[in-house]
């Protein structure tokens, strides 16, 4: 229970300050209503809190993607809603998203987020056989989503998008991934 409170306090502070360098054990403990030494019963140090916070963020992204995808909707719509949920998390929690993507090595929840998108993309496949490039296409879509998420963190998304709505760009990314997956043409 106390571990969850520590992580919630750290997440709240990170969202409020926007800078992980501002997170100290003392601040986190104060926000959680505990003494700083009490943290050590749950986390070895500040870095351990940040790693756990990143993993928790990816778990939330996975939950958000799953919640956004209506099981009754068409496969493309489920994939699009999942991608929107991914971007919404990044936009609502920019500092936490930055922490999640800067953590050393992919965490289990980060792998699961890619897995959820990979399976949603696979559901859009016209034939039922496994596509030989499915993982590569899903990785490309995930990379494009990360780029869109990072673009939203800058002050100049309009410099790149001009009069194009971000959701139109997202739909183009999704449609391109689906088209490539359903293509018999070999890309190298």
56 shares its domain with 34: no
Read off the CATH number of the domain in which 83 is found: 1.10.357.10
5 shares its domain with 75: no
Query: Is residue 148 domain-resident?
Result: yes
Query: Is residue 37 domain-resident?
Result: yes
Query: Is residue 154 domain-resident?
Result: yes
Please give the chain's pLDDT, 188 residues, in tens: 689 999 999 999 999 999 888 899 999 999 999 999 999 999 999 999 999 999 999 999 999 999 998 999 999 999 999 999 999 999 999 999 999 998 767 889 999 998 999 899 989 887 666 667 778 898 899 999 998 888 777 656 566 666 778 888 899 999 999 998 887 666 55
In this prediction, residue 136 carries a pLDDT of: 87
Reported as half-sphere exposure (CB side, CA atoms, 13 A), residue 169 has a value of 17
67 shares its domain with 131: yes
**114 in Cβ contact with 36 (< 8 Å):** no
In this prediction, residue 95 carries a pLDDT of: 93
Query: Is residue 188 domain-resident?
Result: no
125 shares its domain with 60: yes
Give me the phi and psi of 33, to 5 degrees please. Answer: 75, 30
115 shares its domain with 162: yes
b/e string for 24-51 if b means 16 or more Cβ within 10 A? ebeebbebbebeeeebeebbeeeeebbb
Residue range(s) defining the domain that contains residue 35: 1-43
How far is 74 from 82, CA to CA, in rounded Å? 12
In this prediction, residue 33 carries a pLDDT of: 93
How far is 180 from 119, CA to CA, in rounded Å? 15
In this prediction, residue 87 carries a pLDDT of: 94
Query: What's the pTM?
Result: 0.88
22 shares its domain with 65: no
5 shares its domain with 94: no
77 shares its domain with 170: yes
**CA distance from start to end of the chain:** 50
Give me the phi and psi of 35, to 5 degrees please. Answer: -85, 155
Token pair, residue 28, equals 């986190």
In this prediction, residue 150 carries a pLDDT of: 85
b/e string for 104-137 if b means 16 or more Cβ within 10 A? eeebebbebbbebbbebbbebbeeeeebeeeeeb
Find tokens 């992980």 and name the residue.
20
The full length of the chain comes to 188
**180 in Cβ contact with 135 (< 8 Å):** no
In this prediction, residue 20 carries a pLDDT of: 86
Number of domains in the chain: 2
In this prediction, residue 5 carries a pLDDT of: 95
In this prediction, residue 135 carries a pLDDT of: 81
**49 in Cβ contact with 6 (< 8 Å):** yes
Read off the CATH number of the domain in which 28 is found: 1.10.10
């Amino acid at each position: 229970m106390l571990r969850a409170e520590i992580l919630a306090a750290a997440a709240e502070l990170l969202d409020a300050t926007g800078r992980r360098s501002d997170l100290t054990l003392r601040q986190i403990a104060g926000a959680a209503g505990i003494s700083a030494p009490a943290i050590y019963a749950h986390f070895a140090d500040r870095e351990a809190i940040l790693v756990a916070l990143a993993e928790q963020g990816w778990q939330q992204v996975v939950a958000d993607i799953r919640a956004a995808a209506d099981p009754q909707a068409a496969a493309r719509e489920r994939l699009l809603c999942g991608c929107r949920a991914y971007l919404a998390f990044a936009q609502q929690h920019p500092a936490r998203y930055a922490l999640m993507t800067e953590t050393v090595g992919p965490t289990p929840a980060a792998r699961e987020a890619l897995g959820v998108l990979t399976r949603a993309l696979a559901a859009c496949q016209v034939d039922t056989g496994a596509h030989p490039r499915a993982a590569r296409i899903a990785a490309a879509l995930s990379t494009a989503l990360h780029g869109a998420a990072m673009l939203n963190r800058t002050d100049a998304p309009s410099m790149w998008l001009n009069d194009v709505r971000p959701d139109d760009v997202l739909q183009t990314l999704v449609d391109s991934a689906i088209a490539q997956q359903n293509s018999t043409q070999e890309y190298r």
